[in-house]
Amino acid sequence: MRREAQGTGARSGEQGAEGKAGGKKLKRQSLKSYKPVNPTNPMNSTNPRNQYPLTSIQYPPNVECPISLSSPIQKKIAWARSHCESFGKALLGDQEIAGLLDNLKEAVAASRREMAQTGIVEICRRCDREEGGSCCGAGIENRYDACLLLINCLLGVHLPEERRQSDSCFFSVENGCLLMARHIICINYLCKNVTDQVDPCRIATVREKEGEEVNALFVLHERIKTVLKQWT
C-alpha cells in the first residue's frame, strides 16, 4: 500500500486499484490515471512545485544524459546505484546537500506522522490487507526518474533487483513502499475511500505536510542535478 513506507503492507495491484477480496473485486481509482492536486495553498504562486514536474529531469544540453525517463526501471536503478557508488561520498560531503537531505527526512517523517494521526495509514492498511484494494500497481515505477532513485540511495534505501509481484509497483514490498523519497503522485494521492472517511480539515493538514515534503524534495533534486552537472 502506498501511504506508508515499510510498515503496513504492500498493495495488491494496479489494476489499481482493482484488487480482490474474497473473490469480490474492489475498484479504486488507479494512481496511474491520477492527476496530483496542489497540497499547499493554491494561492502561493511562488511554490516551485507548481511549476516543476518531478516526472522529468531536464538535463542541460552540454551534459551527456546517460538515461532517460523512458528507460526501463532496472536501467534507472543501475544508474542510481553506480552514481551513488561513484559520487555518493562527495554528494553527502556537500554541505548544502547534506542539509537538504536532513530537511527531506524531517519532512517525510512529519508527513507520515500526520497521515498516521489522521487514520489514513490505517485505512490504507485495511484496504490493502483486508479489502484487497491498493493502488500501487505495476507501471507506476516508470514515473520515477533516475535522480529521484539516486536520492533514495543517498538516504540508504536499498533498491530492489526485481519486482516482487507482477501486478504491483516495482517498489512495493511486503510491508509497503520501500522508498523514502517518493514521486509527487505517490505522496499526493488519496482515493475516495480515504476522503470519504477523513475529516476535510484533517486532510488539509496532511496536504500542508505533503507540500513541505514535495518542496524539500524539489530543492534537493535541483541541487543534486546542478552538482552532478559540474562533475560529469
Residue ranges in contact with ligand SF4 by CB under 6 A? 1-3, 11, 17, 28, 31, 123-124, 127-128, 133-136, 140-141, 169, 171-172, 177, 179, 182, 186, 189-191, 193-194
Closest to ligand SF4 by CB, 100 or 123 = 123
Q: How far is the CB of 72 from ligand SF4 (least distance, A)?
A: 16
Q: How far is the CB of 40 from ligand SF4 (least distance, A)?
A: 20
Closest to ligand SF4 by CB, 19 or 211 = 19
Packing angle, helices 95-118 and 73-93, rounded to 10? 120
What distances in angstroms separate CA 70 from CA 66, 67, 120, 203, 218, one per listed residue? 12, 8, 32, 33, 20
Q: How far is the CB of 100 from ligand SF4 (least distance, A)?
A: 21
Q: How far is the CB of 23 from ligand SF4 (least distance, A)?
A: 18
Contacts of residues 190-197 at CB distance under 8 Å and 24 or more positions apart, as own/partner, are 190/120, 191/17, 191/28, 191/29, 191/133, 191/135, 192/28, 192/29, 193/28, 193/123, 193/127, 193/133, 194/120, 194/123, 194/124, 197/119, 197/123
Closest to ligand SF4 by CB, 197 or 226 = 197
Cell 484487497, located at residue: 132
Q: How far is the CB of 128 from ligand SF4 (least distance, A)?
A: 5
Closest to ligand SF4 by CB, 54 or 191 = 191
